[in-house]
Structure 1
Amino acid sequence: MLIGAVLILTWLILLLRYPAKALPVSLAAALGLGLVAAWVIWEDSRDTHRLERLEVRLNYAPEQCPAGKPLLLLINNGNKIPLIELRWRIAAYAPGDNINLAEDNYTSPRYRGPGELLPDSQWQDCLPLPPLRAGYRPQTLEFRAEHLQGSFAD
């Protein structure tokens, strides 16, 4: 942090002392920084839009999955490019409620996707339940994948 403060102070001194030389360089640097920021924002919005086109469904299905993994996950890639990586958290809600009943702590399972998922294809897997707050049964809850993070092939 000290180095940053020294750099800003030096830049201000040069700008005040030699404005004819420092101002064009400063404007060029600001323009370059603005272009990089615009590119990063565009990339982020593009990935967000692609993640919104993924269909992720979670159902409590102990009859279709093994005993330790009763959540049935179905991911459908509705994009025109392959999904390379996907991570998410599972939230549990009582019907009609908006309070997350899944406890998020360091011992909670971390969920990762299928690796490469081709366009217009599906992937299915069984997942373990996240730790739930006391007094709630999983068969009475709705499960959702939240905080999706992923990358796509370009």
Structure 2
Amino acid sequence: MLIGVLLIVTWLILLLRYPAKALPVSLVAAVALGLVATLVIWQDHRETRQLERLDLRLSLARQSCPADRPLQIRLTNTNSVPLVELRWQVGAYAPGDTVNLVDNTYTSARYRGPGELQAGAAWQECLPLPTLRSGYRPDSLEFRAEHLQGSFSN
């Protein structure tokens, strides 16, 4: 923090004392900073759009999954590029309600995807249930993937 303040004060002194030399350098630095900010915003927006194009479905499948992992996930990559990595958390909701019934703590389960998933490919897996608040049965809840984070190859 102190170094940042010192840099800004030094830059202001140089700008006031030597405006002919400091102004062009300042403009170039501002343009470069603007280009970097634009690039970061564009990449973040592109990644968000790619994550929105993933078809991710969670369902309770006690018949087709082992008893210790009854939550079935089906993931289809509908993007034109391969998915490299995917992480998410699971939310559990009563039908028609907006209150997440997963007991969110620091040690809450965070789920990971299949690794690399080619464009148009599908992946299916059985996962353990997240810890629910007391008094709720998994059979009566809807499960949703939340806080998706992922990366795609270029």
Q: TM-score, normalised by structure 1?
A: 0.98
CA offsets, 1:38-68, max 9 Å, x none? 0000000001000000000000111111111
Aligned to 1:118, the other structure's residue is in SS state coil
Tell me, what secondary structure is at the counterpart of 1:40? helix
The answer for the alignment partner of 2:13 in structure 1 is 13
AA of the residue aligned to 2:76: N
Which runs of structure 1 show a deviation greater than 4 angstroms over 4 or more consecutive aligned residues? none
Task: Specify the alignment match of 1:57 in structure 2.
Answer: 57
CA distance in 2, matches of 1:110, 1:48: 19
Q: CA separation in 2, counterparts of 1:114 and 1:76?
A: 11
Secondary structure at the counterpart of residue 90 of structure 2 = strand
Classify the secondary structure of the residue corresponding to 1:6.
helix
TM-score, L = length of structure 2: 0.98
State the Cα RMSD in Å. Answer: 0.7
Name the % identity: 66
Query: Does 2:39 align with 1:33?
Result: no
Offset at residue 105 of structure 1 (A): 1.2
1:1-154 to 2 correspondences below 5 Å: 1-154=1-154
Deviations, residues 75-108 of structure 1 (Å, cap 9, x unaligned): 0000011000000010000000011111221222
Structure 2 unmatched ranges of 5 or more: none
